[in-house]
Structure 1
Amino acid sequence: MNSLTKPIAATLLGLACAGAAVAAGADLGTTAKQATNWTAISMFAVFVVGTLWITKWAAARTRSAADFYTAGGGITGFQNGLAIAGDYMSAASFLGISAAVMASGFDGLIYSIGFLVGWPIITFLMAERLRNLGKFTFADVAGYRFKAGPIRAFAASGTLVVVAFYLIAQMVGAGSLIKLLFGLDYWVAVVLVGALMMVYVLFGGMTATTWVQIIKAVLLLSGVTFMAVMVLAQYGFSPEALFAKAVSVKTDIATHGGKTAEEAGKAGLSIMGPGGFIKDPISAISFGMALMFGTAGLPHILMRFFTVPDAKEARKSVLWATTWIGYFYVLIFIIGFGAITLVLTNPDMADTTKGVISGGAGTANMAAVLVAKTVGGNVFYGFISAVAFATILAVVAGLTLSGASAVSHDIYATLIKHGKADSASELKVSRITTLALGVVAVVLGIAFEKQNIAFMVSLAFAVAASANFPVLFMSVLWKDCTTKGAVVGGFLGLISSVGLTVVSPSVWEATLGNPKGSALFPYQSPALFSMTLAFVTIWLVSVLDRSQQARKERDAFAAQQVRSETGLGAAGASGH
């Protein structure tokens, strides 16, 4: 395996150098691309080389399917907590939320709060039960007492759809970032990221992905702490002074936009209250539900609970993860307001008359990176750019791993081979799936270039809340849940959430280019409707199911409950 890693590593480093050379050449012409930032590129190269070394080290330890999917179950609670935080503090959190706060002010908080409040659900309802019941994927948990075929077909479908939506956001963030740093075309940047991500997952598996997450989490938390402190230092460490300046900036932008003094004043003050981003109560509830319950249905987060040795370490993981994530989101809010006061007032970075970052819609996602440049100069700008890239790469690797495990473990090993697949063939299928997912991620990343990445991730959360969460919740906590109920309800939640997302204004109008007002579904997030539909269907179909199989499944609930609550028998079934 190591003999394969070396030529690919060399190829990727060659690509990075070639990219830098192209950037330098392009910079001499009359293109609108950014000047090549050699400080950022050197830090970026150091990170790439470092993580490729970790991948090489992990590859030597990845001998079985259990090693590939769960790092052999040898990660501690503290390490896993940092890795979960690393997984969760994605491009959407770092780049997307700060951009949303810059654009909408207070309303950007709905992302921070929504992303955070899902964690108590995982802490009190999921973490321990997941570790006690599961092996590699959340389908192991959902299908513990159900028929393997139908439940795994659903679980794999739900996982792949969520992974696809989530991957889009990360690839858009990566493309925008590399374009800004290297001066490369957007599509070239996306292809580079896709290639690197495939190498991490193909060779290193969960061990490499976990350590890349941990390193990236430490770097990101250090970076945002410095940024937030430097932003507040500009205003005597007074949040009130920061907010007052942000209101003043937004008022000036509205005045330059042709609004009267009264209208401009209202526009400025609007960033300190709700209503700028979500216009009606139904949208707010639906959006909040997606962010809150979607967390407990994200396959790449759920998969992390199988990397620890026991349920106690799983609980410890969530405690640490929640601590780091909560701290991070408070800082991101400050950085978002810092973008209003420091970036939007800088004529070199923004169009001050329109209140947008120079370069159009795609570059709005770079608000946090430009704050770093303002408060820390080129060196810190290079550091934060490299960390943002690390953030994206690590999350993409985790997502790809969960998608690959859904295909190889849930579909190939369990459905096609009926549980008799050997570890080597399962690994081979997983690696083929990784390549396929990499190609899909690149294509979708190019297609969705102009979307806000925090918003793109919220769509993944809506699908996870509508499909994965109801099935997981009902199968683990409700005695009368049956295979038919879980599969029919789960698929209805999945299909309705994807369908309503496609015909919502965010995709139908913004991405597909249809006329404004032509969307068939008026709300931005479908979770309120699709999640309710899934829960009601699971309940109704299960209650009506009087088959012999359903009776067996109800009788098996007591044994499942003992295992999920106490962990008795978990060690023997975990593959560790």
Structure 2
Amino acid sequence: MSALATAPSLVTAGPSIAPAATTVGNPAINIGIFALFVVVTLAIVIRASRNNRSAAEYYAGGRAFTGRQNGIAIAGDYLSAASFLGIAGAIAINGYDGFLYSIGFLVAWLVALLLVAELLRNVGKYTMADVLSFRLRQRPVRIAAAISTLVVSFFYLLAQMAGAGGLVALLLGIEGAVGQRLVIVVVGILMIFYVIFGGMKGTTWVQIIKAVLLIIGAAIMTVWVLGKFGLNLSTLLGDATTASQDAGGKDLLQPGLQYKNPVDFISLSMALVLGTAGLPHVLMRFYTVPTSREARRSVVWAIWLIGIFYLFTLVLGFGAADLVGAKEIKNAPGGVNSAAPLLAFELGGEILLGIISAVAFATILAVVAGLTITASASLSHDIYNTVVKKGAATPEEEVKVARIAALVLGAIAIVGGIFALGQNIAFLVALAFAVAASANLPTILYSLFWKRFNTRGALWSIYGGLVSAITLIVFSPVVSGKAIDKVTGKSPSMLQGVDFHWFPLDNPGIISIPLGFLLGYIGTVTSREYNAAKYAEMEVRSLTGHGAETATHH
């Protein structure tokens, strides 16, 4: 029996034409568990915020976290609503194609570990722009890096806010767009509070707690689902595929359900694998540890935790496909993103649903807080201090501006989240990855490894990658022009009833990523600027860490 069918009805007795209730579980229990999570995490944030006076405390948590703690926090930052809600839903509906998100997100960490983590920690101070501007002209490069950071953070925030709206609407039985929009406003306000008061230290502790809860919760559900199929993964996959075909769906084990065009699949893969090493909120986490050795350790911890979790998503996705069914998932208030909560209700009733959903909610809050602190740090440290004040701002002034920026960014995220309601959030995050891989990654790699690289090359690769990625997204089927889904009666595109797309692919990575690298190369070779001494200093520092420790506290 489906989760929705067993849900207690909130529709009052009346004519038989009343719509079926789409509430799952008991709203009172759900609200109670939610409130408990929020109160506990807010208490942690307030406790951690006592020493948030200096910039190093606010941006980098005083660099007081060990590699293990930071690794768990990175997993908490990275395992977003897209990983839990979005990927489980994508696998439940599209099977093999949905699992490609899990593989891409995991493989991406090897790129981050091998090419970026330690070198970045040695060269930078608080933000990605510290690395990019180290041997280039400060003002133009910092402005470009800050703009790129804000755009990537905005796309990522959209996904989290959309996930929050759908999830809470499902749990509290909130029908219609107005209720879901209210939910997004509440999430936004909570997130702003976390960042303004907790800074990086408070945010990190919330991420650590959330990562532990999320992995334990997913592990319990995974074992529970496998238990229903004799602890046999093969039986689960076979039964889920049969259930999908019986319901008029396709074979979930066959590729091509979501990406019928192989080029679209390659484009998505490029964005996922190369995007992580260019995500500002992930890169910023490397500054919260005291040494580059701890930065390396934190990535190793993160890879293990993230890898185990993504194996769980395979079982959760196929479990939802079999035990809940694609039709019920698509018709729920959160759409595709409701697969994991509906599965939790099917397995363990109201209590498990409340716990799993509260963990998902904590996931969204922690990731959103991490993104907001990154974007606000970029505005205050890179734009306000370096560009506006020409490096003369005091740490106290910087932190004050960062808090104001968090307030503004929170308001923008709320508005954007309202527009993104109903989209698959794994898919929205893939767009953020495409922008990060196109605009940030070429510049980071060129800065760290190419002697000849200069300011013009950096500006061309950042702006070129950014503009090309965003332009292709705007004119892609993601925004307009997709065919109407027979089950939901709506187009999966963001804008309904219009079609102005001319770019055929869902993800722009296959065009915009090589273009970012190419523009960085052309910009560099057409400019004579070259600072050999500064590159030598950067190379020594990035490889040995010499000078990095003193630089972090000046």
Give the TM-score normalised by structure 1: 0.89
- Is 1:249–1:268's contact at 8 Å kept on the other side of the alignment? no
Matching of residue 160 in structure 1 with residue 150 in structure 2: yes
Deviations 1:193-214 (A, max 9, x none): 0010000000010011000000
Distance in 2 of aligned mates of 1:34 and 1:453: 21
Deviations 1:161-204 (A, max 9, x none): 00110000000111111111223410111011001000000001
- Is 1:508–1:519's contact at 8 Å kept on the other side of the alignment? yes
Distance in 1 of aligned mates of 2:9 and 2:344: 26
Alignment-derived partner of residue 189 in structure 1: 183
Distance in 1 of aligned mates of 2:122 and 2:154: 28
Alignment-derived partner of residue 490 in structure 1: 462
The structure where helix makes up a greater share of residues is 1
Deviation at 1:404, TM superposition (A): 0.3
**Unmatched runs of 5 consecutive residues or more in structure 1:** 1-23, 255-266, 345-349
My pick for the range that moved more, 165-174 or 535-544, is 535-544
Alignment-derived partner of residue 147 in structure 1: 137
Sort the Cα spacing of 1:357 and 1:500 in 2 relative to 1 into closer, same or farther, 3 A: closer
Alignment-derived partner of residue 64 in structure 1: 54
- Out of 524, 529, 537, the residue aligned to residue 559 of structure 1 is 537
My pick for the range that moved more, 276-285 or 421-430, is 276-285
Deviations 1:534-567 (A, max 9, x none): 1111111111211xxx122x44211110100000
Distance in 1 of aligned mates of 2:535 and 2:196: 38
- Is 1:296–1:465's contact at 8 Å kept on the other side of the alignment? yes
Distance in 2 of aligned mates of 1:283 and 1:175: 28
Alignment-derived partner of residue 111 in structure 1: 101
Q: Residue 60 of structure 1 aligns to a residue in which SS?
A: helix
- Out of 218, 222, 226, the residue aligned to residue 220 of structure 2 is 226
Deviations 1:460-483 (A, max 9, x none): 000000001111111111111101
Deviation at 1:297, TM superposition (A): 0.6
Distance in 1 of aligned mates of 2:465 and 2:46: 40
Distance in 1 of aligned mates of 2:530 and 2:440: 24
- Out of 345, 368, 387, the residue aligned to residue 396 of structure 1 is 368
Alignment-derived partner of residue 451 in structure 1: 423
Identity of aligned residues (%): 48
Alignment-derived partner of residue 519 in structure 2: 537
- Is 1:27–1:34's contact at 8 Å kept on the other side of the alignment? no
My pick for the range that moved more, 534-543 or 504-513, is 504-513
Alignment-derived partner of residue 332 in structure 2: 359
Distance in 2 of aligned mates of 1:60 and 1:182: 35
Deviation at 1:26, TM superposition (A): 8.0
Alignment-derived partner of residue 263 in structure 1: none
Q: Tell me which amino acid in the other structure corresponds to 2:196.
A: L
Q: Residue 505 of structure 1 aligns to a residue in which SS?
A: coil
Alignment-derived partner of residue 121 in structure 1: 111
* Number of residue pairs aligned between Structure 1 and Structure 2: 526
Distance in 1 of aligned mates of 2:137 and 2:253: 52
- Is 2:10–2:23's contact at 8 Å kept on the other side of the alignment? no
Sort the Cα spacing of 1:210 and 1:27 in 2 relative to 1 into closer, same or farther, 3 A: farther
Alignment-derived partner of residue 88 in structure 2: 98
Alignment-derived partner of residue 85 in structure 1: 75
Distance in 1 of aligned mates of 2:9 and 2:404: 36
**Unmatched runs of 5 consecutive residues or more in structure 2:** 1-7, 482-492
- Is 2:221–2:344's contact at 8 Å kept on the other side of the alignment? yes
Deviations 1:243-268 (A, max 9, x none): 111111111111xxxxxxxxxxxx54
Deviation at 1:281, TM superposition (A): 2.5
Kindly report the root-mean-square deviation, in angstroms, between the aligned alpha carbons of the 2 structures: 1.7
Q: Residue 317 of structure 1 aligns to a residue in which SS?
A: helix
Distance in 2 of aligned mates of 1:357 and 1:375: 19
Counterparts of 1:435-514 in structure 2 under 5 Å? 435-509=407-481, 510-513=493-496
Alignment-derived partner of residue 12 in structure 1: none
Deviations 1:295-324 (A, max 9, x none): 001110000000000000000000000000
My pick for the range that moved more, 364-373 or 218-227, is 364-373
Deviations 1:367-404 (A, max 9, x none): 00111111122111111011000000000000000010
- Is 2:170–2:332's contact at 8 Å kept on the other side of the alignment? no
Q: Tell me which amino acid in the other structure corresponds to 1:67.
A: E
Runs of 4+ in 1 over 2 A off after TM superposition: 24-40, 355-360, 512-516
Distance in 2 of aligned mates of 1:251 and 1:537: 47
Q: Tell me which amino acid in the other structure corresponds to 1:190.
A: I
Distance in 1 of aligned mates of 2:235 and 2:169: 34
Counterparts of 1:239-254 in structure 2 under 5 Å? 239-254=233-248
Matching of residue 416 in structure 1 with residue 416 in structure 2: no
Distance in 1 of aligned mates of 2:272 and 2:11: 41
Q: Tell me which amino acid in the other structure corresponds to 1:500.
A: L
